[in-house]
Amino acid sequence: MAKLKILLVFLCLLNLEAQCQDNLDATALVKKADERMRGQSNLAEMTMEIIRPDWSRTMSMKSWSKGTKYALVLIQAPAKDKGTVSLKIDNEMWNWLPSIERSIKISPSMMMQSWMGSDFTNDDLIKQSSIVNDYKHKILKEEIIQGEPCYKIELIPKPDAPVVWGKILMWISKDLNNQLKVEYYDEGQELVNVMTGYDLKTLDGRLVPTRWEMVPVDEEGKKTVLTYKDIDFDIDIRDSFFSKQNMNRVR
């Protein structure tokens, strides 16, 4: 009986160790995928097309980011939106509106709101929440996405984490650690948005998806397409660049 108890305890410890290792591997995969598209810092040029059943519009943008602390997005076109800037520092966000020549702070309750009328939220574009630090990660299984073997990973928010999603499912390619598909769920575990990455191209030496489609699942005919034209990784950029004082000067 004593030997049986010892065996059961040993098996439980092995199972616990395996679970911890799975979680560690899942976190490492999410971190690698996040860093692959972000780098230590980056400067990107992109377009965003907002598609609706009876109309569409396109914006040209430029963005800078550094780590997970800083991000800044500048709208360059069309003329009516030109000069609009979104800035993120740590967990705070501001918008500079040239039409009224002032900056407006975005409250945490507004992070789920649409960014510039698109299907991306303020949180999606500025990445206020950290998918690495604010979620627990678990590999569910392996699946094929767009012909690529991927790990399907579940992200559940940690208690009291400042995040907007109740759950995220992420598919990361096994060969290059690219995110190829992401599903976003609300606090009631209802699927809200699906983001899919397409058109893998080499940008600054990295083969990454260059076209991202965000589709709201309950709104037929609506989607937003974010296309990367160019991106430079690991650029030299000072922390002081990401300041409220610089929002109306950046070009």
Contact of 177 with 29, CB cutoff 8 Å: yes
Q: Does residue 10 belong to any structural domain of this protein?
A: no
In sequence order, what E strands does the chain have? Answer: 41-52, 55-66, 70-77, 85-89, 92-97, 102-106, 135-145, 148-157, 167-173, 179-185, 191-203, 206-216, 223-233
Residue 84 belongs to a domain with what CATH number? 2.50.20.10
Q: Does residue 3 belong to any structural domain of this protein?
A: no
Give 10-residue mean pLDDT values along the chain (251 residues): 47 40 78 92 97 97 93 96 94 92 89 91 76 94 95 95 91 96 95 96 96 96 97 96 94 85
Q: Does residue 7 belong to any structural domain of this protein?
A: no
Q: Does residue 22 belong to any structural domain of this protein?
A: no
- Which residues form the domain of 162? 32-246
So what's the pLDDT on residue 13? 37
Total domains, the chain: 1
So what's the pLDDT on residue 135? 95
Q: Does residue 1 belong to any structural domain of this protein?
A: no
Q: Does residue 55 belong to any structural domain of this protein?
A: yes
Q: Does residue 86 belong to any structural domain of this protein?
A: yes
So what's the pLDDT on residue 2? 53
Q: Does residue 24 belong to any structural domain of this protein?
A: no
